[in-house]
Amino acid sequence: PFFFLAFTGFVPAFRRIADLSSINLSAIFLFALVTLVFIGLSLYWMYRAFAVSTNLTKPVHIITFVITLFIAEASAFGINQLVVKEALGNPQKEIRTQGPLTEQEEKALARTKEITGFFAENDINESITSLFNDEMLAQLPVKDLESTWNGLQKQFGRFQGFEDDTSVSTKGELVVTETTAKFERISFVLQLTFDENTNISGLHVKPKLF
């Protein structure tokens, strides 16, 4: 999990730091060092679990495990990037950055408010999944959604509520909304992707780094 987080969370954050007009090299170095420590710890913990379950502890086994893990994670990351670009299109072709909302954006915001209301009440039911498209419903039925939400609270503390900071953007035929969800020990961004029929085609929860 930490190794995956390094790819999906630390790398974009590092890029954001590097893009600042006044670059603080010591801060970047520290950030890179922390990232490497997380990756190292993740590799160690995963190998320990692997070694205990398989009883493979020779140096060649360690090297093979690390190489295989890197190849698998790099491949997964690359495939994920390709899938996202294919689904969302070119970010440079975003239709609206400022100005009045489109009808589809207004519907997406209304549904986002409806969904966050259910989450805020810890009422994870079919009223949420009824807004999913067929592909999304097959991937995330209500039982799995409830289990994921409860798992977040078990790991990061009780859910504290949503901030009033929902953003909306249009990318091709898709509309994406993002809302900050606050837990006791961390804040996440709830990202909802809506298709052309304003049904949910994607639901992601990612750490809020800034």
Top pLDDT among 208 and 195 is at 195
Which region among 23-32, 167-176, 189-198 has the lowest average model confidence (pLDDT)?
23-32
Question: Residue 162: which domain range?
Answer: 92-207
Task: Specify whether 110 is located in the same domain as 68.
Answer: no
For residue 20, give both structure tokens.
Answer: 């600042």
Task: Specify whether 96 is located in the same domain as 149.
Answer: yes
* Contact between 163 and 99 (Cβ < 8 Å): no
For residue 63, give both structure tokens.
Answer: 């090297």
Q: Which string of DSSP letters, residue by residue, matches 125-194?
A: SHHHHTTB-HHHHHHS-HHHHHHHHHHHHHHH-SEEEE-S--EEEEETTEEEEEEEEEESS-EEEEEEEE
Task: Specify whether 43 is located in the same domain as 144.
Answer: no
Domain of 177, CATH number, reads 3.10.450.590
Task: Specify whether 101 is located in the same domain as 192.
Answer: yes
Q: What is the pLDDT of residues 107-163, one digit of tens each?
A: 999 999 999 999 998 888 888 999 999 999 999 999 999 999 999 999 999 999 999
Using alpha carbons only, how large is the chain's radius of gyration in Å?
A: 20
Instruction: Quote the number of domains for the chain.
Output: 2
Top pLDDT among 190 and 94 is at 190
Task: Specify whether 101 is located in the same domain as 81.
Answer: no
Q: What is the pTM of this model?
A: 0.54
By DSSP bridging, strand 167-171 and strand 187-194 are: unpaired
